[in-house]
Amino acid sequence: MPNSGLIHEQTSGVYIISITPFSEDGSIDFKSVDSLVEFFLEKGVTGITILGMMGEANKLSANESRGFVKHFLKRVNGRVPVMAGVSDAGLANLVNLSRFSMDAGCAGVMVAPVIGLNTDQKLYDYYTQVIEYLGANVPLCYQDYPQSTGVNLSVECFNRMVNDFPQLVMLKHEDCPGLEKLTQVRDSAEKQGLRRVSVLTGNGGLYLPQELQRGADGAMTGFAYPEMLTAVVTLHADGETKHAEDLYDAYLPLVRYEQQPGYGLAVRKEVLRRRGAVACALSRAPGPVLSRRGHEELDHLTARLDSRLKELE
């Protein structure tokens, strides 16, 4: 399978976090995987990350995960880099999926810490073990999402890992609040003469304009309107920050609505269904379901978005 390049310290742009499409019977809908890939590419994404937390990776069997990776990469066919989320409570499972994904053509792997790493030393030791098992040739993205993992990454610990682990090339930054932490990561690395690693931000793009101003290289998140993410990141890179914020503001009500904890996935999947990217908005049980009122609110928000975008033309 073609590999369009590995992730590295200069990786930038928008790596969209992909959902996993399911059919009404709960099986993976591979036809919708194909249409979803084309939808993402049409919207100008730089790369795609699969099997993330919002991709319901924890609800897939090992065989399903491998089948999804293989099919997804075949459809992308090297047109953009694809990264795999491989986080797992079991190190053997993590390593096996990582090796399968890299052999299949992935550009790198994303690993979140396991629950219970409540000191910097425990966290450092865990990633030492992960990297030892993965080997030096697998580029690694650290997923910093303490709202889900319960593990807090200090800037000092991250800098130590950057210094000691050359294959750690990216931080997925989604601590919240996290703007000051992002600044500290950038400033302390410069002061200490450390490698400047790629920082892509998450949280549905909720703080994207400010994160870009503070040194993020782009976004790695899910949103049902990827074209907003790509446009905002591109405009910012071109120095058109006011235009970027004006465009972002038009989408903000939907960004916020999609960021409802535990419910936002249902919103995202339904909007993607409405936009023709997938055939079904089902999340695997236990998963969120959009209520009648939720559908009505979505109708209202999307109508407002359409009106606002016309005003910006």
Domain ranges within the chain, ordered by starting residue: 13-240
As a whole number of angstroms, the longest Cα–Cα distance in the chain is: 54
* Average confidence (pLDDT) per 10 residues, the chain, 313 residues: 76 97 96 98 98 90 96 97 95 96 97 94 96 94 92 94 96 94 96 96 95 97 97 97 96 96 94 98 92 96 96 87
Among candidate residues 133, 122, 207, 132, the one with its CA nearest the CA of residue 160: 122
Is 3.20.20.70 the CATH number for 13-240? yes
Q: How far apart are CA 306 and CA 290, in angstroms?
A: 21
How are beta strands 140-144 and 47-50 bridged, if at all?
A: unpaired
pTM of the model: 0.94
Amino acid symbol at 184: Q
Residue 77 phi/psi, 5-degree rounding, is 55, 40
Beta-carbon contacts of residue 177 (< 8 Å; ≥ 6 apart):
none
Contacts 24+ apart (CB under 8 A), 146-151: 146/175, 147/174, 147/175, 147/176, 147/261, 148/53, 148/112, 149/112, 149/113, 149/114, 149/115, 150/115, 150/116, 151/112, 151/113, 151/114, 151/115, 151/116, 151/117, 151/118, 151/123
